[in-house]
Amino acid sequence: QPVLTQPPSSSASPGESARLTCTLPSDINVGSYNIYWYQQKPGSPPRYLLYYYSDSDKGQGSGVPSRFSGSKDASANTGILLISGLQSEDEADYYCMIWPSNAVVFGGGTKLTVL
Amino acid sequence: EVQLVESGGGLVQPGGSLRLSCAASGFTFSSYWMSWVRQAPGKGLEWVANIKQDGSEKYYVDSVKGRFTISRDNAKNSLYLQMNSLRAEDTAVYYCARVCRDGYNRIFDYWGQGTLVTVSS
């Protein structure tokens, strides 16, 4: 299975924006996949946030604020989760995911600290 | 209300076996693909296995192929994971998750609270 690369940690201050990245291996084109994002807080199961394929094909999880949005950087073969107007409650681990064929691949996760 | 409740975790010796269960309620269980996802202590998420609505298709991560078997009983609204030849690296919290499929989308939209499996002598 392919490996999705996420920075282990990221930090930003309340009210700022956080840009979390998920880089696909060079033999897998980010443009061909839905990128899914999950949030996990300590002691809880993951929560589905959103998916992004393109600006015309994207979706938000139930109850997920519009402050969470997705995008892609094709030149970097990367999926992006943007969290604007950071709040203390956004401090969590964030995982990207793709679903090539019938297998599932998660990124290693990014721990977001809201300073 | 959708609920997924895992059970069956515990301490097992290397080489041993364990069977996890996931009791589903609040939705038509037989209409959904289901999955197992695990998380080793302090580590990230790792998908383990998927099963189609009628059990006719099953898929596994390479590291568990030949050792783990996913199954389901739609009459009992239950999902299972039979784990054999367990290794220390199988130590993890095991989550049961519902798969919401919509076109090309495949979303883990509901998760259980997880059950801890510890493989140790």
Contacts of A10 (CB under 8 A, 6+ apart): A18, A20, A110, A111, A112, A113
- Give the pLDDT score at A33: 95
Note the pLDDT tens digit of each residue in A12-59.
999 999 999 999 999 999 999 999 999 999 999 999 999 999 999 999
Going by C-alpha positions, the residue among A31, A48, A42, A26 that lies closest to residue A106 is: A48
Going by C-alpha positions, the residue among B73, B81, B86 that lies closest to residue B97 is: B81
* Cβ neighbours of B105 in A, within 8 Å: 34, 51, 59
Going by C-alpha positions, the residue among B22, B12, B14, B30 that lies closest to residue B80 is: B22
The Cα–Cα gap between B46 and A110 comes to 14
The Cα–Cα gap between B37 and B44 comes to 10
User: How many contacts, defined by CB atoms under 8 Å, are there between A and B?
Assistant: 57
Note the pLDDT tens digit of each residue in B39-89.
999 999 999 999 999 999 999 999 999 999 999 999 999 999 999 999 999
* Cβ neighbours of A106 in B, within 8 Å: 37, 44-47
